[in-house]
Amino acid sequence: MSFIESLQSAASDSKCVNALLWCVFGFGVFKITTLLCRTLALLFDLFLLPSVNFSKYGAGKGNYCVVTGASDGIGKEYARQMAQRGFNLVIISRTLSKLETLKTQFEGQYNIKVEVLAMDIAADDKSNYEQIKELCQNLPITVLINNVGQSHSIPVPFLETDETELRNIITINNTATLLITQIIAPIIKETIREKKSSRGLILTMGSFGGLIPTPLLATYSGSKAFLQNWSNALAGELSGDKIDVELVLSYLVTSAMSKIRRTSMMIPNPKQFVASTLKTVGRRCGAQDRYATGTPFWSHALYEFVIDETFGVYSKIVNTINHSLHRSIRIRALRKAARKAKK
């Protein structure tokens, strides 16, 4: 008698076994159904639903969008694509000459107003935040994009992490993001109250480094994981004020921070990444189990979805693979530095 036949015989003789089998069957159907629903939601979010209309955030009505880390890479592209949607801009970054170049370019090309503010956010100077408040307090702001961020120069063991690098990462990724949001969010609330029809939006750049615990990038990984919980909590707090809050998760993007120059299926350029982000604002895409979180670029979303549905982001096997990947990156970076030193 086969195992299945034995099980059927036992079920026919015992109500308990029969009930247990029905529970197992029901649980299996439930899991398959929820997986199917999550898969369909993923496909609709990424490929089938139309682009988000930013008129609900006041596009083209004289409202402002604040972008931090705006002079290069992803931040510069956020500023450009928000300008294309008809937002005036407040762009904040370290290099004044780059900001002034963007101001001239955007005002001429998109017929908008651009305010610039140059500062070194890593300095954690109280006067920085006073300047931001002074510049922004009388502007009709409806969107804040917390893009500024810093990672390690190369993967490094936590116990060998330079203290200055460690402090800069926490200051830029966490302290500055929180304090700038405390300044801008009340202005967004006031703008919405006065205009009555608009919604507000706060986007904060997260990372797969925060989604998945990342050995050899421990401080950066922790700083981005902090932003996940903070942003989700803020989304709950501000939902009644008509302000949408979302953490944006990304894998690698070609940028100065990632030190990657070539695009691929898994590595978009800033233009591609930002376009996918703004197209899907408010949709989870690959972040199916996370509130107020989106993984907008299609290959990143599929990658996260597969990890979530198989091993899980906190599993030992994923941690081990991540460790091995970043150890190899560190070895290559040290070899490259050694070659440069010889020259």
How many CB atoms within 10 Å of residue 37? 11
Q: Does the pLDDT at position 187 exceed 80?
A: yes
DSSP code, position 121: G
- Residues 79 and 109 sit within 8 Å (Cβ to Cβ): no
* Single-letter code of the amino acid located at 85: R
Name the pLDDT band for 129 (thresholds 50, 70, 90): very high
DSSP code, position 53: P
276 is in an annotated binding site: no
Sign of the four-CA dihedral 147, 152, 158, 159: negative
Average pLDDT over residues 215-237: 98
**pLDDT tens digits, 28-69:** 777 788 889 999 999 999 999 999 999 999 999 999 999 999
Round to whole Å and give the CA distance between 31 and 36: 9
Helices 15-43, 3-13: axis angle to 10 degrees equals: 120
Round to whole Å and give the CA distance between 254 and 263: 7
**pLDDT tens digits, 61-94:** 999 999 999 999 999 999 999 999 999 999 999 9
pLDDT, residue 342, reads 86
**pLDDT tens digits, 1-13:** 555 556 456 556 6
Round to whole Å and give the CA distance between 301 and 17: 41
pLDDT, residue 330, reads 95
Structural domains of the chain in order of their starting residue, each with its CATH number: 52-338 (3.40.50.720)
Helices 73-84, 96-110: axis angle to 10 degrees equals: 20
Q: Looking at per-residue confidence, does 124 or 146 come out higher?
A: 146
Q: Which are the contacts of 275, defined by CB distance < 8 A and separation ≥ 6?
A: 81
Is residue 221 exposed (0-12), middle (13-18) or buried (19+ Cβ within 10 Å)?
Answer: buried
Query: Annotated catalytic sites, by residue?
Result: 220
